[in-house]
Structure formats: C-alpha cells, structure tokens
Amino acid sequence: MSTSERPVVGSLENECPVDGRALSPVPITRDLVERVHDARIAQPAWEALGFEERARRLERAARSIVERRAEAVQLLHDELGKTPPDALMGEVMGALQFVRDYVVMARPYLRPRRLPLSPLAFPGKTGQTELVPRGVVGIITPWNFPLATFFRPVFGALLCGNAVVLKPSELSPRVGAWFGRVLAEVLPPHVLEVVQGGPDVGAALLRSRIDAVTFTGSTTTGREVARVCAERLIPVSLELGGKDAAIVLSDCDFDRTVAGVMYWALTNTGQSCGAIERVFVEDPIADRFVDALALAVSRLRVTGDPRTSDVGPLANARQLAIVEAHVNDALAKGAVLRCGGRRLGVGQWFEPTVLDRCTADMLVMREPTFGPVIPVRRVANAEGAVHATNDCAHGLTASVWSRDVARAEAYARRLQVGTAYVNNHSFTGAVPAAPWTGVKDSGTGVASGVFALNHYTRPRTIAIDRRDTPDAWWFPMDARLEELGNRLAETLLGNPLAAVKVPVLIWQRERSVMDLVRSDPQRRSILRRVVSRLTSRRE
C-alpha cells in the first residue's frame, strides 16, 4: 500500500507561535502496525548494502537538507517561531558535518573483531565478534529542536543498518514530514517510516514489533517508556530533561562569561535540555555580574517578528504558562526582577528575563523552566556552588567559568553530570564523537559517540572449529581430565614444567571421548589415525 493510499483518521492542528495563525493540518497515522511491518521487510536489504553504501546515501540526504535549508528554516519559523539565524545555525547547518563525522567515528568501531583464543586451551578454534543491527528502531523525538534531534538517533540507527520508524512531536509534525520526504529520495522504500500523532501513537509504537527504542523528552514520560520497554524486554535509550547550572567564579573572564551565560541560557528561547537554567555566582562579583547580565539581556531585540528578533517566541501556550508560573513563583518568594518578566503582544512571546537573589526553594531553581529565564543565586564560594549544583534531581550538563583552568577543571570533575564544561557550555551536543548523556532524572541513554552505537547494534560471535578430533574436555569425566585441568592451571600460573605432559594428556582424552561413542572397529580406526598424526608431528 502506498503512502498516499494509507487510511488516516483525524489530524494534528497547530498554530504558529509567532502570530497564532492556524497551520495546515497533518493527518494522524492510523496504519502504524503496517508501517512497522513494511520497515521490517525493508531492513535486511538495507543492511545488505554494507556500511560504505549506507554512509554514501546518508551523506547525500544530509547534503540535501543543507541545500534545501530555506525550506527547513521556513518550517521551523512556522512551527516553532525560530529566528532564521537560530534555525539555520542551531538545526540545519549541522546535518552534513554531523553525518561525515559520524561515519568516520563509526567505521572502525563497527568492524568485526577477532576473538582472542588461547591455542593451548582452545586448539584449532577461531572466531570473530561483529556488531549487527537490531532490526527496526522506534524513535520518538521532542519539539524543541524538531530537526536537529533527528540527526543523532536517525542517522545513527540507519548507519548501523537498521530500519527506523520515527514519530516526531505532535507539536512539530511538519518538520518531521519534510525530513522524511528528504530522506526518502535517497533511501530504499520503507527503510524510514514517519508516523504522526500524539501520545496514543507513541504508545502504539512502543507496543508494536520494534526491536529498540530511543526516546527524547520529559522525565515523567521517560519513566513510562522505560516501563513498557522493560515489559517487552527491548533496549531503550532515554534522553530526558535537564536543569543545567553555570558556576561563575570570581576570577572569570568577566565579559566573555556574561556573553556565554546569556547565550547558553537564551538560545532557542531557552527551550533546550542543555540550556543554562541556574547560575551560581560567587559573592565578590555578584553585584557586578548581575548588573552586566541584566544590561546585556535588556539589549536583546524582541520585536514580535523572528526575522528581526534575537530571541523568538516560546513554541506553544503550555510552555509559556510554565515560564510565567516559574517567574511568578520566584517573585512571590523574594527574587528580584532585573529585566523582562512579562508577555509581549500576540503569539507566545515572553521577554528575556533575569532574576536575582533566587533561592533553592523556588521552582525556577528546581524544575525545568524551558524558557528565556536566567535565575541567579549568590554563593559564598565555589564549594557552595558545587554542592548546590549537585543538589538537583537532574544531571545533564554543567559548566565552570574561571581563568584558572586547572582549578575550574577540578571543580568540573566533581559535578554529577554527563558532561562538564570549563568556560563554555553544551557545545558538544553537536559533536558526534562526544557522548551526550546524563545521570539521575536526566536519563540512562547515550546519544552520540561510539557508546550510542551499542544501542543500535547487538554483538554476534561466529566461532569455528576446524579440527577433526574431539575436544579434550568432552565426556567422560575421568581422572585424566582432572589431571589435564590441573596441569593447565599450573601452566597458567607460570610453571613451565607443567606443560610437558599436556599434549599426551590431550591425546589420551581425545581417545577416551571417541571410545565412548564409537564401536570397536571404529575405535581402532580412529586410534590408528591419532597415533599416525602424533608420529608425523614428532618426525
């Protein structure tokens, strides 16, 4: 059944966060089971193409994404309200380099490995271990980076030889559909299937005949995804929320630190699991730092039009409500508003906000805000900042800002996160060789790096025995076998004399094994062969 003939029911209705206008409806997928089946049928031929051909096709797909960047930027504007520079630099441009770097990283890792076998303990035997695709990988992605979040799991799973069933967020289905069309131009039919819908479609995908799951989203949903995958005994990679901290030490490169913290807190309107959502600054520079940060943030353009704004709108009304609730909670508990703090015009616009004198009990310091808010908490020293950073349910990334790199690195190593940075933040999210992972409520998954390839493959060992005699440890369990075992043990422990009788014991044991299963004529025949072989070896 072709895609155009497949029956659907209902559609996803979305509004542009810039101005509230209705976007074209996207049909909800009804025939998910059939699509998973189609992907399973298509997978073996895709695997058979081999690594190099798969790599060539994926590079062609990534090249097409970059060539058609204007289409992608427009879709990201319509569905997420992204500014053109943010959409271009934060999502589209990374596709081609990402595939190229991923191929270079994966090529040696996916090669078969020779199995090291002792010729003494395992005579005549060889083997190799290879990584083979799991089959069909289900991938469920979020809305905040609706194009870029495809790259790591989709390109990784496909490069390893899997077929993929991709469910984009119901808040950004058009970007997902466009991505599917672009890849369909270079992939065999059904190797990538895109299914559309809300949580019910995601739940149906989890319970379909897929072989592994990659989920990126909230911690709450991630726990449910993990439960379903545990019931089905299929592997799951969970990339969940973050509450990233920046520790600003008194000896930091001041102006650069202000610029870096502002960027990593507000890029993509703060809607990133790796965004800076907590800032701990040492008391000696706190007044000066907050003044400079608030001044810089107040200079950012927020015009109501992403084409002329530095910071765009929030992606949806639900996220806007969370941001407002966190800001209001902080102000009610004593935080000082230094700039921003309110809605702007139509759509989902909210002023970039700096909150000073925040405390640990505020929502904005405890729960993911996912918006253009920078809460600052003053600390007496770096020790207090490290303790406060680790006192959090999440542990994705964090950063330490200081001119003393060695000191900052020492503090960074004490942070309970997947990636710790010195004098920067979150940039490794775009580096294929760098694992993107977290601890605690940030999930158990690993995206990127060779460790991620283990999720999309499983090891398979091929072992071959080329001898025409039995193994010496087969039945019967007699005294000679015990003696052989003891002599082998002594040999391993470094006693060279213990190995002298090992060949004879092995020959005697081989004869005992054959005596157990052969009739008398056969036994004499095998005995003659063994004696002849031993005699020829001595000669």
Sequence-separated contacts (24+) of 124-127 with Cβ below 8 Å:
124/465, 124/466, 124/467, 125/463, 125/464, 125/465, 125/466, 125/467, 126/463, 126/464, 126/466, 127/461, 127/462, 127/463, 127/464
Catalytic residue among 193, 239, 367, 510: 239
Distance CA 228, CA 207 (A): 8
Q: What is the DSSP string of 198-217?
A: SHHHHHHHHTSS-SEEEEES
273 annotated active-site: yes
Taking the C-alpha atoms of residue 36 and residue 34, their distance in angstroms, rounded to an integer, is 5
* Helix ranges, 355-463 (H): 363-366, 382-390, 405-412, 449-456
End-to-end CA distance of the chain: 71
Largest CA distance in the chain: 99
Catalytic, out of 160, 229, 273, 339: 273
**Cα(282)–Cα(280) distance, rounded to whole angstroms?**
7
Contacts of 463 (CB under 8 A, 6+ apart): 115, 125, 126, 127
- How far apart are the C-alpha atoms of 207 and 204, rounded to whole Å? 5
List alpha helices for 314-419, DSSP H.
317-332, 363-366, 382-390, 405-412
Catalytic residue positions, numbered: 239, 273
